[in-house]
Amino acid sequence: MATVKTTLGRRSFLKSSVLAGGGMMLSFSWFAGCEIPNRKEAATIEMPEEWFELNSYIKIGDNGVVTLFNPNPEFGQNVKTSMPMILADELDVDWKNVIVEQANFYPKRYDRQFTGGSQSIRQGWNILRTAGATAKRMLVTAAAQHWQVPVNEVTAKAGILYHTATNKEISYGEIASLAAIQPIPEEVELKEIKDFKIIGTSKKNVAGTEIVTGKPMFGIDYQAEGMLIAMIIHPPAFGMKLKKFDATKAKSMPGIKDVFKIDTLKSDYARNYFDTTTFTELITVVGNSTWEVMQAKKEVVVDWEQAPEHTFQMDARGNKIAINVPAGLESTTVHQTKMNQYNKKPGNILRKDGDPEKAFKNAAKILERTYSAPFLAHNTMEPVNCFANVSAEKAELYGPIQAPEFIIGTLSERLKLPKDKIQINLARMGGGFGLRAYGHHMIEAAVISQEMKAPIKMVYTREDDMSYGIYRPSYTATYKAAMDENNNLIAFHVKAGGIPESPLAPNRFPAGAIENYLAEAWEIPSNITIGAFRAPRSNFIAGAEQSFLDELAEELGKDPIEFRLELLERAKNNPVGENNDYDPERYAGVIKLVKSKSNWDEINDKSRGFSAYFCHNTYVAQVLDLEIENDKPKVNNVYAAVDCGIVVNKDAAKNMGEGAIIDGIGNSLYGEQTFKDGAPQKLNFDRYQLIRMSEAPKSIEVHFVENEHSPTGMGEPLFPPIFAAMANALYRATGQRHYQQPFIIEKKIIG
Of 60-64, 161-165, 376-380, 632-636, the least confident: 60-64
Is the model more confident about 406 or about 251?
Answer: 251
Q: Is residue 377 part of a domain?
A: no
Same domain, 238 and 157: no
Same domain, 577 and 691: yes
pLDDT mean across residues, the chain: 90
Q: Is residue 286 part of a domain?
A: yes
Confidence band (pLDDT; 50, 70, 90) for 746? Answer: very low
3 state SS of 587: helix
* Whole-number Å distance between alpha carbons of 42 and 3: 5
Q: Is residue 378 part of a domain?
A: no
> Looking at residue 22, what is its pLDDT?
54
**Average of per-residue pLDDT across 498-513:** 98
Same domain, 93 and 124: yes
Confidence band (pLDDT; 50, 70, 90) for 76? Answer: confident
Stretch (H or E) spanning 366: strand 365-373
Quick: pLDDT tens for 286-343: 999 999 999 999 999 999 999 999 999 998 877 889 999 999 999 999 999 999 999 9
Evaluate if residue 235 carries a pLDDT over 90: yes
Same domain, 289 and 395: yes
**Average of per-residue pLDDT across 597-602:** 95
Same domain, 264 and 405: yes
Domain count, the chain: 3
Same domain, 733 and 657: yes
Q: Is residue 559 part of a domain?
A: yes
Domain boundary (430, 459, 488) is at 459
Confidence band (pLDDT; 50, 70, 90) for 28? Answer: low
> Looking at residue 118, what is its pLDDT?
75
> Looking at residue 74, what is its pLDDT?
84
Of 663, 670, 665, 661, which is closest to residue 688 (Cα–Cα)? 670
Same domain, 419 and 551: no
Q: Is residue 226 part of a domain?
A: yes
Give how far the C-alpha of residue 60 lies from the chain's centroid of Cα atoms, to the nearest Å: 32
Q: Is residue 152 part of a domain?
A: yes
Quick: pLDDT tens for 127-152: 888 888 988 999 999 999 999 999 99
> Looking at residue 110, what is its pLDDT?
60
Same domain, 162 and 298: no
Evaluate if residue 651 carries a pLDDT over 70: yes
Same domain, 150 and 39: yes
Residues with Cβ within 8 Å of 551's Cβ and at least 6 positions away in sequence, in order, are 367, 369, 737
Evaluate if residue 119 carries a pLDDT over 50: yes
> Looking at residue 105, what is its pLDDT?
84
Q: DSSP 3-state helix, strand, coil percentages of the chain (rounded to 5)?
A: 30, 30, 40
Confidence band (pLDDT; 50, 70, 90) for 79? Answer: confident
3 state SS of 58: strand
Task: Tell me how crowded residue 220 is: count the other CB atoms within 10 A of its CB.
Answer: 18
**Percent of the chain at pLDDT above 90?**
74
> Looking at residue 32, what is its pLDDT?
36
Same domain, 581 and 681: yes
Quick: pLDDT tens for 353-389: 999 999 999 999 999 999 999 999 999 999 999 999 9
- Domain range enclosing 107: 3-199
Confidence band (pLDDT; 50, 70, 90) for 9? Answer: very low
Evaluate if residue 25 carries a pLDDT over 70: no
Q: Cite the beta strand spans of 206-360 per DSSP E.
A: 228-233, 240-246, 256-263, 281-287, 301-306, 310-316, 319-325, 348-353
**Average of per-residue pLDDT across 238-251:** 98
Contact 105, 426 (CB under 8 A): yes
* Whole-number Å distance between alpha carbons of 132 and 44: 17
* Whole-number Å distance between alpha carbons of 194 and 203: 18
Q: What is the 3-state secondary structure (H, E, C) of 233-257?
A: ECCCCCCEEEEEEECHHHHCCCCEE
**Average of per-residue pLDDT across 206-217:** 88
Domain boundary (440, 459, 478) is at 459
> Looking at residue 67, what is its pLDDT?
82
3 state SS of 576: coil
The torsion angles phi and psi of 269, rounded to 5 degrees, stand at -80, 130
Q: Is residue 353 part of a domain?
A: no
Same domain, 552 and 614: yes
* Whole-number Å distance between alpha carbons of 216 and 383: 15
Of 557, 516, 649, which is closest to residue 82 (Cα–Cα)? 649
> Looking at residue 1, what is its pLDDT?
67
Cis peptide before 525 (omega within 30 of 0): no
Same domain, 49 and 123: yes
Evaluate if residue 82 carries a pLDDT over 60: yes
Domain boundary (413, 432, 459) is at 459
3 state SS of 595: helix
The CATH number assigned to the domain holding 7 equals 3.30.365.10
Contact 375, 526 (CB under 8 A): no
Q: Is residue 411 part of a domain?
A: yes
**Average of per-residue pLDDT across 78-90:** 90
**Average of per-residue pLDDT across 481-507:** 98
Evaluate if residue 45 carries a pLDDT over 60: no
Evaluate if residue 31 carries a pLDDT over 50: no
> Looking at residue 320, what is its pLDDT?
87
3 state SS of 700: strand
> Looking at residue 2, what is its pLDDT?
73
Evaluate if residue 37 carries a pLDDT over 60: no
Quick: pLDDT tens for 472-487: 999 999 999 999 999 9
Confidence band (pLDDT; 50, 70, 90) for 6? Answer: low
Q: Cite the beta strand spans of 29-91 per DSSP E.
A: 55-61, 66-70
Angstrom distances, CA of residue 637 to CA of 598, 658, 697: 9, 11, 6
* Whole-number Å distance between alpha carbons of 626 and 614: 24
